[in-house]
Amino acid sequence: MADDHDGTRCVHAGLPEPVPGEPFLPGPVFAAPYHLDPWAGPATAPNGYGRPDNPTRRHLEAAIGELEGGQCRVFATGQAAITGLLLTVLRPGDTVVLPTDGYFPVRSFATDTLAGIGVRVLFAPTAGPYPDLDGVRLVLVETPANPGLDVVDVPALAARAHAAGALVAVDNTTATPLGQCPLDLGADLVVASGTKALTGHSDLLLGYVATRSADLLEAVTGWRTITGAVPGPFDAWLAHRSLATLDLRLARQTANAEALARLLVARPDVTGLRWPGLPDDPAYAVASVQMRRMPGVLSFDLGDAERVARFLDAARLVAAATSFGGLHTTADRRAQWGDDTAPGFVRLSCGVEDTVDLVADVTAALDTAGR
């Protein structure tokens, strides 16, 4: 499968061997306890209790692991995955470096919970500069960053971190495994929200951690088993079903993002446009080398909250919603969630609508919103 192209990999990832009369993707297994051998107990079968064991979940983990190039453990949400990873790896007295411009709830978790248990928390912008990494246990980066879309040179940072004895984890939510493979770039761990572009239908919550390290995988698995932060079997089944169209969805979303970026960069009433696929974007030099495809997300500023509201009221194809990566184009004014962004800052997630329709709709909505 490693030699197949992205679309083929997505369609076939994690599926069991074909058996006549059986479905392509077995239905979700709804079970808490399973029948045990009365003499040998759980040693004779892979399933004993639903928290650590579920065949539907294992199919999904195999699929995501194939796409990420490692072994995977899925969690109930992206936040469960990233907090589980941090609490698995870090101990009191350790030092962690986190992005100043990454997902806001992760920063809040670090300053509230991690610092409260004696972990030293340092912050650095995604694009750098980074502090001295001597004595650091973990460097976590989010690239492209959410919501500002800066990019870090993962191989260069990983080489520097490993020389200092630190682990590197990459949040791959925005890029997805088709946009970049952090494990190939030198990262030790990948963490992501599968709620967003990975599954793309805006109908489930999911997170995951992937790695090539048996020791790290065992530690993450143990943490998940003890804390119980597992997705339900139906969410796992929906996620696996959705992976088959990932390549197709991302292709249209990227095309739409490029078209909107070229529209917005030419408008004097839009400022602060960021999309790493634009040659003038500060992230382009690194992203164009490191990423296999650009994300379907861009960000810009409309000046104030009222103008954002007028824009969304006027738009026919752009819905006001948080999260990103779904089939429908959405826009989110991040400051309304307490994120430390400007009042008029917008993160826009391109859906799979026809490009010409989306460009026309955004143009008309911006014209109606005025200055």
- What tokens were used for 308? 């954002």
Interstrand relation of 297-301 and 345-349 (parallel, antiparallel or unpaired): antiparallel
- Residue with structure tokens 């191989």? 155
Read off the pLDDT of residues 51-64 as tens digits, 9 standing for 90 and up. Answer: 999 999 999 999 99
Average pLDDT rounded to a whole number, residues 269-291: 98
Distance CA 45, CA 51 (A): 15
The vertex-157 CA angle with 153 and 162, nearest 5°, equals 150
Strand partners, 73: 209
CA-to-CA dists, residue 331 to 30, 143, 165, 192, 199, angstroms: 36, 20, 40, 21, 18
Condensed to tens digits (0 to 9), the pLDDT of residues 137-193 reads 999 999 999 999 999 999 999 999 999 999 999 999 999 999 999 999 999 999 999
How confident is the model over 118-145, as a mean pLDDT? 97
> Residues 60, 240: contact at Cβ < 8 Å?
yes
Q: Which helix (H) or strand (E) holds 271?
A: strand 271-274
Using the predicted structure, report yes or no on whether residue 94 has a pLDDT greater than 80. yes
Mean pLDDT in residue range 240-255: 98
Residue 371 reports pLDDT greater than 80: no
Residue 207 near residue 77, CB atoms below 8 Å? yes
CB-count burial class (<10 Å; 0-12, 13-18, 19+) for 5: exposed
In CATH terms, the fold of domain 6-243 is Aspartate Aminotransferase; domain 2 (3.40.640)
Residue 3's pLDDT is what? 84
Instruction: Decide: 45 and 37 in contact? Cβ < 8 Å.
Output: yes
The CA distance from 122 to 331, in Å, is 31
Q: What is the pLDDT of residue 127?
A: 96
User: Is the pLDDT reported for residue 65 higher than 80?
Assistant: yes
Write out the two tokens for 127.
């694009």
pTM score, whole prediction? 0.96
Confidence check: pLDDT of 1 > 70: no
Is there a shared CATH topology between the 6-243 domain and the 247-369 domain?
no
**42 close to 222: Cβ distance less than 8 angstroms:** no
User: Which residues are designated catalytic?
Assistant: 51, 103, 171, 196
CA angle 270, 313, 268 (to 5 degrees): 15
Q: Read off the tokens for 224.
A: 């998940």
Is it the case that residue 338 has pLDDT exceeding 90? no
Alpha carbon distance 243, 200 (integer Å): 8
Supply the angle between the helices 305-314 and 355-369 in degrees, to the nearest 10. Answer: 130
**CATH (residue range 247-369):** 3.90.1150.10
- Residue 261 confidence (pLDDT) above 70: yes
Question: Would you say residue 2 has pLDDT above 80?
Answer: no
Where do the domains of the chain lie?
6-243, 247-369
Residue 346 phi/psi, 5-degree rounding, is -125, 130
- Mean pLDDT on 188-212: 98
CA 126 to chain centre: 15
Phi and psi at 154, nearest 5°, equal -65, -45
Comparing 44 with 169, the larger pLDDT belongs to 169
**Parallel, antiparallel, or unpaired for β 330-333 and 345-349?**
antiparallel
